[in-house]
Structure 1
Amino acid sequence: MTTDDLKDFLDEKAELYNSKSFIENDPIQIPHRFSLKQDIEISGFLAATISWGNRKAIIKDAEKMLHFMEGEPFAFVKNFEENDLKTLDNKSIHRTFSGEDFAEFLRNLQRLYTSHESLEDLFLLQDGEQNFYHSLVRFRQAFLGENIHRSHKHVSSTYKNSSAKRLMMFLRWMVRRDNKGVDFGIWQRINPANLSIPLDVHTGNISRKLNIIQRKQNDWKTVEEMDLVLRKLNPQDPAVYDFALFGLGVSGDFK
């Protein structure tokens, strides 16, 4: 397959899957229930954090968190007191993400929103940076703070060569801007050209079949290998191809 053929193929599949029908069966439906920027950020970040495994289970378990926050994520984060978190003790949220982890995430979010209007502040790239390798670690450090808590394992570190799939997915939701109605594009200070694909089993397997990547691991080095190809195909919006690669992987339409 030539470069032009690959671009035509991926553009066609991205167009197919990047539509409002995508929302119904994807965790992105959780932040789509809100209109306030901070509600979208908080619910999106929490939904992305537990986005591994079966998508129906992810959505169901994200709804547990919304219910606990009384359907108003930002208002709850701003105003909760420590006693409000006691019922989360020994509670299960999603697989290894426990009620204790959820409580710590809420504490961290409350601390961050006391000094930041938006979580976007914590993901901004610095001069010369072309991807989120350093940015995600800066966010991780700011979010986790100095307290060593078991929940740190749910925020990936690119310095440990993680693909940071869930954080990259959250960034795609917040940053990408088009007229399709799936991604929000509410973060205006981050250029979509710097986004990378959220690399998981589906996007990795399809990318190998298409010879986009050669590495067998789904790690940060592979993310950068993928960038070399996808940013040539669409320099302004390389992450649009997440729809094509993920959609093909989930649907089983590409053998």
Structure 2
Amino acid sequence: MMKNLILFFMMCFAISNAQEILQKYPTGQTPYKGGYEAYYKDFVDIIKEKNLQPCSNPDELYVLTLVVMPDSSVQFVKDVNEKIVDKNKCAYNLARETAKYMKNWSPALVHGLPETAVARFIIYPNDLFNNYREGYYPNYTSPVYNNGRNNNSFVRDFVYKFNKRRFNWFDVFVIQGEFTVTKEGKVKDFVMTRPSGVYEFDKEVQMTVNILSKHFKPATINGKPVDDRFTFLVKGITDPED
């Protein structure tokens, strides 16, 4: 018999690596020398220098995720959500192509020593080709779960709606998933990027997301709603009765 199921839920991005990786830069530090504004300036300069072409779909949006190493080199993080990549292929390619020519990556510093850290850059080609200006930084807001309280209420609502009584085993697990919140605020293209290994359990995760799907507000760029991904991690512990 199962006594309870404890679920912990948080927004994150998980990267498998033997060494510890900072999931974000320390406060006051940026992954590019000169800050994000310098990154986007170099991005536009490379577009012009390499004669790269704009995207035919002006709504494409992609978040480039890199790992910046202590020696200032970078490694691309494989995007496991092929649906998002396919729908934003031009932005995806531009992000990776320009990154190959950039030389001003800046590692995170912890107690004065360089550490490996995750860096993310919002790539909205329509802005970079048509609306770039000195000091540019994308005016972006991420998708938000809003059920009349605040974004953290997703944790409470997910745990409340998840059908814990269907499962009866003792285990500790971590699962990761993501989906697209469309510019209309609808949820689609759910993907388990890190499944539990138990089909019925993963299916219940998706059913719970579907129940909560009507409470999302879309991401925006410059105040304009756009499709964007919502990523989550669930840590669970099943605890049998004494």
TM category, shorter: 0.3 to 0.5
Task: Indicate the structure with greater helix content.
Answer: 1
TM-score, normalised via structure 2 length: 0.34
Task: Indicate the structure with greater strand content.
Answer: 2
TM-score, normalised via structure 1 length: 0.32
